[in-house]
Structure 1
Amino acid sequence: MTGYLTAPWEHLFMQRAFLVAILSGVVCGVIGSHVVLRGMAFIGDAVAHSVFPGVALAFVFQVNLALGGAIAGLVTALSVAVFAQNKRLKEDTVIGVFFAAAFGLGIVILSGAPGYSGSLESFLFGQILGISDGDTRTVAVTTVVLLAVAALLHKELVTVSLDRETARAAGLPVFALDLALYAMVTIAIVVSLQAVGNILVLALLITPAACARLLTDRLGTMMLLAPAIGALACVIGLYLSYWLNLAAGGLIVLVATAVFLACWLLAPRHGLLGKLRATRRSHHDQTVADVREASAG
């Protein structure tokens, strides 16, 4: 048993992969908690796809792909934040417009960039086993900075998520906080692209936070559970990838999904079985009360 646990750590590329995967799981768990709390999972999908044209342009001009993706994602996220201030349009409508536009632009750029298919594959499906030392350092530093900003703005972001009008009345800069959250979502997604790829990154952002949401009613506990679940899913997924010789990104997401299904079924208060038990207990208590009332009458 010990050999199964320690064997992957004998390889330097696996050590880097575990570190980046854990950091990705933690940062997506923290930022994803705000996304789930606010009910804006669609923005994660939009940003994940909006980095596509940035990566394509970066490939054409031979610059860093992650940097190109980050810039494109930030531009899209900030555009959504600006246009969503118009109360005639719902946030998900604006997200849909820019999501489609960004992806369309990426397709146009791709069609004029022969030889891009190899880079596209790693972008779409991740390349966690091929991460360099430089990439690892970049992910580590970015994660620390992002978590620090998230901790600094935590109370304000929660206030805006729960009641925007109350937050505005209290003098909070709601628009600036929207921009900050969108930017953090973008950076978290870009950080995690190498772990699970563009197609699956939304799952890493949303699924651990959704699990935590089912397990607790306390926001502070949710903020601890979500990154823990994300990191655990990444570690288990990497172990399975190593021993089964299957795609790491897909296995990470499948492990996270399995945890979600378990939470949906078994969570003490909000799981299916917990609700059934509560319903039965309520019916039993009501029956006992009716019997006592009948006896007393």
Structure 2
Amino acid sequence: MEWLTGPFEVTFVQRALIGGLLVSAITALAGTWVVLRGMAFLGDAMSHGLLPGVAIASLLGGSLLIGAAASAVVMAAGVTVLGRTPRLSQDTGIGLLFVGMLSLGVIIVSRSQSFAVDLTGFLFGDVLAVGADDLATLAVALVLAVAVAALGHRAFLALAFDERKAHTLGLRPRVAHAVLLGLLTLAIVASFHVVGTLLVLGLLIAPPASALPWARSVPGVMAGAAVLGASATFFGLLISWHLGTAAGASIAAFAVAQFFVSRLAAGLFGRTRTADEPGPSAPDRTTSTPVRIGMGNS
């Protein structure tokens, strides 16, 4: 069993594992709503839209976390404003912001002498370089994410079904959507500087999508996503150690592989059909199959 436990006897791999577990828990909380509401493109845009703030902070020698947070606020505000623009679909507005922010970030980074290194670090991170300060930041972010997810659960759930229903229940869907954007922003900003935007996006989408066919409630999806994200972190680091591959990319690839295995198994065991399960359905926009997340089950 040395091949299984040996890598995790090394201190920096232990820190990478702990960091990955914290990121998995944070992204499970936000990613579940991203998948249920069909916001994967928004998550992609938000994660890559951090680049201008990160680039400016890097060139000025400031905090990358603050720079990322500033860019995230701009992206979230832009998405909100363009989402209310008549005759402009939300996807179009998000796409324009995505390309614009990413292009601006690349232009700024290109002024740096270490252009390739900076951009590679932004996209892929360096999970094996996680330090004690990074772990503390992730722990605080997890506590905040749990608080937001718990307090906003009822509003998020109603919003996932029908915005008009949320209005009827007096849950202020616009405010709920803004808070949900805040939760997504928190997950991305807290995690990207440790594991890079590609790994954040992978853990944000793949584990919840993998857990979706097997869960009977939204908390069940979140718990399953956290477990799958943790397993992807463990086995991704293990693969990286033994095969000499990039750690972050190995984790993300394992998470995506879990999704395809889950969907294949769901098809074989008939988990994609839940017509006889109780409770109202909300559309799972990652597939054409309804997912049952009844208010009473949550």
Q: Shared fold (TM-score greater than 0.5)? A: yes
Residue matched to 1:159: 158
Kindly report which structure 2 residues correspond to 1:75-154, keeping only aligned pairs within 5 A, or say none.
75-86=74-85, 88-154=87-153
Give the superposition deviation at 1:86: 3.4
Name the amino acid aligned to 1:177: A
Distance 1:166 1:210 in 2: 25
Partner of 2:61, secondary structure, is: coil
CA distance in 1, matches of 2:135, 2:85: 40
**What aligned pairs does 1:134-283 form with structure 2 within 5 A after superposition?**
134-267=133-266, 271=267, 273-275=268-270
TM-score (norm 1): 0.86
SS of the residue 1:88 aligns to? coil
Aligned length: 273
CA–CA separation in structure 1 for the residues paired with 2:82 and 2:75 = 11
How far apart, CA to CA, are the structure 2 residues paired with 1:169 and 1:118? 51
Deviation at 1:6, TM superposition (A): 2.9
User: Contact 2:134–2:194 at 8 Å: present in 1 too?
Assistant: no
CA deviation string 1:115-148 (max 9, x = no partner): 3432322221111111221111111111221122
2: CA distance, partners of 1:25 / 1:277: 25
Counterparts of 2:238 and 2:161, CA distance in 1 = 38
Q: Is the 8 A contact 1:78 1:182 kept in 2?
A: no
Instruction: Point out where structure 2 has 5 or more consecutive residues left out of the alignment.
Output: 274-298
Matching residue's letter, 2:239:
L
Supply the RMSD in Å over aligned alpha carbons. 2.0
Which has the higher Rg, Structure 1 or Structure 2?
Answer: 1
C-alpha distance in 1, partners of 2:31/2:192?
15
2:55 paired residue number:
56
Query: TM-score scaled to structure 2, two decimals?
Result: 0.85
Aligned to 1:293: none
Paired residues of 2:109 and 2:119 also in contact (CA < 8 A) = no
- The Cα of 1:89 is off from its aligned counterpart by 2.7
Alignment-derived partner of residue 71 in structure 1: 70
Q: Which moved more, 1:3-12 or 1:132-141?
A: 3-12
- Matching residue's letter, 1:274: F
Contact kept, 8 Å, 1:212 with 1:222, in 2: the verdict is yes
Q: Distance in 2 between matches of 1:107 and 1:6?
A: 40
Give 1:17 shift.
0.6
Map Cα deviations across residues 252-272 of structure 1 (whole Å, 9 max, x no partner). 1111122111111112xxx2x
Mark the CA change 1:171 to 1:247 in structure 2 (over 3 Å): closer, same or farther: same
Q: Deviations over 1:56-89 (max 9, x none)?
A: 0011110121221122022202220232133533
Q: Which amino acid aligns with 1:13?
A: F
Q: Which structure dedicates a bigger proportion of its chain to helix? A: 1
Give CA-to-partner distance per residue, 1:133-188, whole Å, 9 cap, x none: 11111111112211221111111111111110111232222222111111211221
Structure 1 residue 103: deviation in Å?
0.8
